[in-house]
Structure 1
Amino acid sequence: MAESKSPHDALEVEHQAVFAEKAGVADYKADAIEAENAEHNMTVLEAVKAYPMASFWAFVMSCTIIMESYDVFLIGNFVALPAFRAKYGIYHNEAEGYVIATKWQSALQVSGQLGALIGVFLAGPLTSRIGYRWATLTGLMLLNVFIFAFYFAKSLPVIFVSQLLEGLPWGIFIANAPAYCSEIVPIKLRAPATQMLQMFWAIGSIIVGAVTYSYHERADASAYEIPIALQWMFPTPLAILIFFAPESPWWLVRKGKLEAAARSVERLGRKSTANSGETVAMMRRVIELEKSDKKPNHIELFKGTDLRRTLIVCCVYAAQNLTGNLIANQAVYFFEQAGVSTDTAFALGLITSALQMIFVMLSWILTSYFGRRSIYLWGSAGNTILLVALGIAGSVGVSNAASLAQASLGLIVSVLFTLGPAPASWVIIGETSAIRLRPLTTGIGRATYYIVEIPCIFLASYMLNPTGGNLGGKCGYVWGGTGLICLIAAYFGLPEMKGRSYREIDIMFKRRIPARQWKKTEIDVRDDE
């Protein structure tokens, strides 16, 4: 006969179980504190040495941005390409020759963005379910197929549809890349890892500039067919690399796959310096802070403290279209409308793209040492002043000096944008969202970008096109005004997250600390709420 236990014995067993659970929590919290302190105490160079493969895989994932950049700038350059205008344009006058009708110029510019708008809404649920790797691989394979539609298109409506289809995988890439890059690197590398996205955006525009500059004098279809075909050089090599990439350990911890997360951490860092057990414990601690019985959904983005985080991400994304970015995207066409020759316009477009890449690299240093908020605000203020100056240069009459002034200011605005607001935006986007909701937040943020960009493209095309507003440099007044509004909103709403762990960021949002007080607020390493 089994021996019966007294109520006292049962109570003792229960107390022991509770004690063991608390001890386990204490041990894992102690490991989490050790890992967080280790990341805080690293220098940038120490972080690179400790996590060399994290830097490499962030570099690989950032390469996916080249494809959207390439095509956005390609369409922007096509409207200035003589062979493309002769094939698909309408005759305007003897001076202008053939031009793409304003409605089609705008439609082609927004077609990819419309597809990407759908893609970012697909990206969040898809990534939450299957992970960053498989979601990105799906997008790369789809892109290979959709490039065929663009290459064999023989009319503007078919080009429009092909660009819309290409936009679907772009939406996956642009939603996933900043989130993945910010999750696989330690605190000190979050800024350079996410700012690489802006560098690859510039690289895409450099490749386009070089290709279209090489072919712009051709009068046959090869002038635009070869640049289209060159898109195939990206997806397959990237797919092979990403197949071997580690999944984000944060995503694995969210799914309860702690052993897989530990192996991922070991693949990202040197085993001699990266303590995978402590790092996973740090991730568990943050995931527990954000724990919910519900599956991540878009409705949560607009509730409680997550609403503030969503608004910051959406506003930063929207501001990219309102502080000089559209001049950069249509640089060659802008230079033509400013009064310089087609040959010079393409050369200036290539110079602009090369300078943008250099300035993005400079921004790594500035953002790492001076913070995100400071660089974003000062860069936005500088751009706003220059945009107003561009408007003034466009208002002084038609002359060679005025044309050169407009072209110079357009170039400076496009380049300065990549020193301050643009690269800082990617860091802010990667850091602001809650870990649990990150794929959804970056998706809805990028959707805001496209929702704002699409009408702005129609406005920008109308303002520059000789069959539309024909404003030239006077468009600087419009973008200067919108840039000022964005600057004021950022001053009051954008917090400084430099050097903050995800646990600290979560706590500061939950405590509703005003944006301008974040820099001087201290969070104890033992705090969990």
Structure 2
Amino acid sequence: MSSEKTHDDHLEIVPAKELDDHTSDALRTERELSTRDAIRAYPMAIFWSLAVSMCVIMEGYDTILIGNFYAYPEFAKKYGQYIDAHGNHQLSAAWQAGLGNCSGIGCFFGVMLNGYLVAKWGQKRVLVWALVVLSGLIFITFFAPNIIVLAIGQLLCGLPWGIFASSAPAYASEVLPMNLRVYLTSYTNMCFIIGQLIAAGVLAGLVHRTDEWAYRIPFAIQWAWPAFLIPLLSFAPESPWHLVRVGRLDEAEHSLRRLQRSSANVDVKATLATIVHTNKLEEEITAGTSYRDCFRGIERRRTIIACVAFAGQVLSGSSFAYNSTYFFQQVGLTTDATYNLNVGGTGLALSGTLVNWFCLMPYVGRRRIYLYGIFSMSMILFLIGILNVWTSKPSVGMTQAVLTLVWTFVFQLSAGQLGWALPAEVSSTRLRQKTICLARNAYYIVSVISGVLQPYFMNPTQWNLKGYTGFIWGGTAFLTFVWLFFNLPETKNRTYEELDWLFAKRTPTRKFKHAVVDLPQGEEGAAFGV
């Protein structure tokens, strides 16, 4: 039986009016479900979301690994291009920029490729095969005899990392109920932090080694994750939204039953009816499911918001304040102090994520958290720049270093997490994977540009701006704040169908939070009057 015939059979079994009744019941149940009840009803959905998001640990690990290797004595001795005035080996600014951006370029193409692969094969198959491919590519970085081979290895490893980064939030948003989706989509960011924390600890522990294993061991640790995740994710359920989009409704129902607790008071058929109904509505109001369609009609607004929300992570100053060991070194801190502060900063990032989960997200809207956060980060960066006037005083360098840690904490309270969650929420379900891919690539494009510029800002043989770099990133953070103030809508406590209605009606940004959504039934509702 073809997938098209299966789809038609289900539509015949569930008439339009009954489908609307099922949808209304499921939407009402989802809205009334408390966070505690949702956790009880969807334990396996939470488990599999956590498992898929763990793939992102490897990208977070590499992000801090390569950026902090520049100040790493044995790495600089192996791959450096010159010796500075203090007799230390250094990578040139050009190679810092090139090596630091290789994985980002690879991620860019991996993300674009993922948009096509997932549409054809689904999240599960693509993730498992990406892990298999990554296992082989790590050999290149581990055995790299020179910096050119290392750069090629980083570029190729970026392909599966890009797949992980764009699949994890999409999968979480499609297997969880409304009031859990922000926690599990933002958990992707926590996995990013966990990877960075592991890398920071490994670097701090190996910094005094005087042989090649000082930098080879950190590369080798990357093999641990595919070895654990490949057998685990082979048993993961496919996203029911993907199965509905390709007409495999029987499999979608089976997937939903695997994600929900059998004893929970949740009607699987009603949930499936909601997915089918929302998918049909979006077929009416969207032109198609290609990348080009993400920029057509009402989808353009949703895509741009998603892109700016993700790119805001870099525009808020992460290239400077987050990966700051090289900055610590340039302001005169010792190697031990540099790497201990790096571990402390990553620990603060992890605590910031938990504070946000328990103290902010349940009570405060996404818009307010993001806006307050990015404004605060811009002020911190401006203060770091101002303090650079008095760098002759020994305490100023440490003060600037502490401020970067404060910035890290604020970043994880706001843009660090919501940059992952918002693209999954503002996108339409039929274009979600591609919208997230475009948003993540907006992040990578800005990240590559900042990665090229940042070494020139900091390198003593180039512009040597040191703390004055805070003025530059403080300016980009403030401009991002201004744009988001006028364009970032509130998505908290909105179902996907309600968000479709709000965007289709071209609801003004400031009215999203309190707008009354009147979802019509039947064919008239399918097009939302547009």
Shorter-chain TM-score category? over 0.9
Match of 1:334 in 2: 327
Mapped pair 1:158 → 2:149: yes
Match of 2:467 in 1: 473
TM-score (norm 2): 0.94
Match of 1:398 in 2: 392
8 Å contact kept, 1:263–1:276: no
Match of 1:463 in 2: 457
8 Å contact kept, 2:123–2:171: yes
Q: 2:23 aligns with which of 25, 28, 32?
A: 32
Q: 1:275 aligns with which of 241, 257, 267?
A: 267
- Cα separation, partners in 2 of 1:218 and 1:508, compared to 1, 3 Å: same
Match of 1:55 in 2: 46
Q: Structure 1: how far apart are the matches of 2:84 and 2:292?
A: 53
Q: Structure 2: how far apart are the matches of 1:213 and 1:21?
A: 63
Q: Counterpart of 1:291 in 2: which secondary structure?
A: helix
Match of 1:245 in 2: 236
Q: How does 1:109-188 map to 2 (within 5 A)?
A: 109-188=100-179
Q: 1:288 aligns with which of 253, 275, 280?
A: 280
- Cα separation, partners in 2 of 1:526 and 1:41, compared to 1, 3 Å: farther
- Cα separation, partners in 2 of 1:27 and 1:112, compared to 1, 3 Å: same
Q: 1:511 aligns with which of 505, 509, 529?
A: 505
8 Å contact kept, 2:309–2:418: no
Q: Structure 1: how far apart are the matches of 2:482 and 2:397?
A: 31
8 Å contact kept, 2:50–2:184: yes
- Cα separation, partners in 2 of 1:23 and 1:239, compared to 1, 3 Å: closer
Displacement of 1:466 in angstroms is: 1.3
Displacement of 1:328 in angstroms is: 4.4
Q: Counterpart of 2:15 in 1: which secondary structure?
A: helix
Q: Counterpart of 2:89 in 1: which secondary structure?
A: strand
Match of 1:437 in 2: 431
8 Å contact kept, 1:76–1:329: no
Q: How does 1:79-94 map to 2 (within 5 A)?
A: 79-94=70-85
Displacement of 1:91 in angstroms is: 3.7
Q: 2:357 aligns with which of 364, 385, 392?
A: 364
Q: Structure 2: how far apart are the matches of 1:22 and 1:522?
A: 32
Displacement of 1:294 in angstroms is: 6.9
8 Å contact kept, 2:501–2:519: no
Q: Structure 2: how far apart are the matches of 1:424 and 1:167?
A: 23
- Cα separation, partners in 2 of 1:202 and 1:396, compared to 1, 3 Å: same
Q: Structure 1: how far apart are the matches of 2:290 and 2:269?
A: 30
Displacement of 1:291 in angstroms is: 1.1
8 Å contact kept, 1:375–1:420: yes
Displacement of 1:472 in angstroms is: 1.3
TM-score (norm 1): 0.94
Structure 1 range deviating more: 258-267 or 113-122: 258-267
Displacement of 1:450 in angstroms is: 1.1
Q: Counterpart of 1:369 in 2: which secondary structure?
A: coil
Displacement of 1:505 in angstroms is: 0.5
Question: Aligned letter for 2:223?
Answer: W
Displacement of 1:259 in angstroms is: 1.5
Q: Structure 2: how far apart are the matches of 1:60 and 1:331?
A: 29
User: Where has structure 1 moved over 6 Å in runs of 4 or more?
Assistant: 20-23
Displacement of 1:22 in angstroms is: 11
Q: Structure 2: how far apart are the matches of 1:93 and 1:130?
A: 51
Question: Aligned letter for 2:509?
Answer: A
Displacement of 1:497 in angstroms is: 0.5
Q: 2:407 aligns with which of 396, 408, 413?
A: 413
Q: How does 1:72-83 map to 2 (within 5 A)?
A: 72-83=63-74
Displacement of 1:271 in angstroms is: 1.4
Q: How does 1:339-354 map to 2 (within 5 A)?
A: 339-354=332-347
- Cα separation, partners in 2 of 1:22 and 1:250, compared to 1, 3 Å: closer
Structure 1 range deviating more: 30-39 or 396-405: 396-405
Match of 1:491 in 2: 485
Mapped pair 1:313 → 2:309: no
Deviations 1:77-129 (A, max 9, x none): 21110011112213443436211111001111000001011101100010011
Which sections of structure 1, spanning at least 5 residues, go unmatched? 1-19
8 Å contact kept, 1:327–1:414: no
Q: Structure 2: how far apart are the matches of 1:462 and 1:330?
A: 15
Match of 1:297 in 2: 290
Question: Aligned letter for 1:285?
Answer: H
8 Å contact kept, 1:324–1:413: no
Question: Aligned letter for 2:403?
Answer: L
Displacement of 1:162 in angstroms is: 0.3
Displacement of 1:424 in angstroms is: 1.5
Which sections of structure 2, spanning at least 5 residues, go unmatched? 1-10
In our comparison, the structure showing a higher alpha carbon Rg is 1
8 Å contact kept, 1:388–1:476: yes
Q: Between Structure 1 and Structure 2, how many residues are aligned?
A: 510
Deviations 1:286-336 (A, max 9, x none): 101111697521111110000111101111121111102113442221221
Q: Counterpart of 2:117 in 1: which secondary structure?
A: helix
8 Å contact kept, 1:105–1:461: yes
Displacement of 1:455 in angstroms is: 1.3
Q: Structure 1: how far apart are the matches of 2:193 and 2:178?
A: 25
Deviations 1:172-191 (A, max 9, x none): 11111111111110000011
- Cα separation, partners in 2 of 1:118 and 1:512, compared to 1, 3 Å: same
Q: Structure 2: how far apart are the matches of 1:309 and 1:404?
A: 42
8 Å contact kept, 1:59–1:193: yes
Displacement of 1:21 in angstroms is: 6.9
Mapped pair 1:263 → 2:257: no
Q: Structure 2: how far apart are the matches of 1:96 and 1:359?
A: 39
Displacement of 1:415 in angstroms is: 2.2
Question: Aligned letter for 1:129?
Answer: K
Structure 1 range deviating more: 20-29 or 156-165: 20-29
Q: Structure 1: how far apart are the matches of 2:85 and 2:297?
A: 60
Match of 2:4 in 1: none
Q: 2:443 aligns with which of 438, 449, 453?
A: 449
Q: Structure 1: how far apart are the matches of 2:12 and 2:501?
A: 24
Q: Structure 1: how far apart are the matches of 2:391 and 2:222?
A: 41
Question: Aligned letter for 1:223?
Answer: A
Q: 1:374 aligns with which of 368, 372, 379?
A: 368
Deviations 1:202-247 (A, max 9, x none): 1001100111111111111110001111100011211111111111
Match of 1:12 in 2: none
Q: Counterpart of 2:362 in 1: which secondary structure?
A: helix
Displacement of 1:411 in angstroms is: 1.3
Mapped pair 1:212 → 2:203: yes
Question: Aligned letter for 2:349?
Answer: Q
Q: Structure 1: how far apart are the matches of 2:444 and 2:420?
A: 16
Question: Aligned letter for 1:310?
Answer: T
Match of 1:13 in 2: none
8 Å contact kept, 2:348–2:408: no
Question: Aligned letter for 2:274?
Answer: M
8 Å contact kept, 2:67–2:323: yes
Q: Structure 2: how far apart are the matches of 1:512 and 1:29?
A: 24
Q: Structure 2: how far apart are the matches of 1:80 and 1:254?
A: 49
Question: Aligned letter for 2:159?
Answer: L
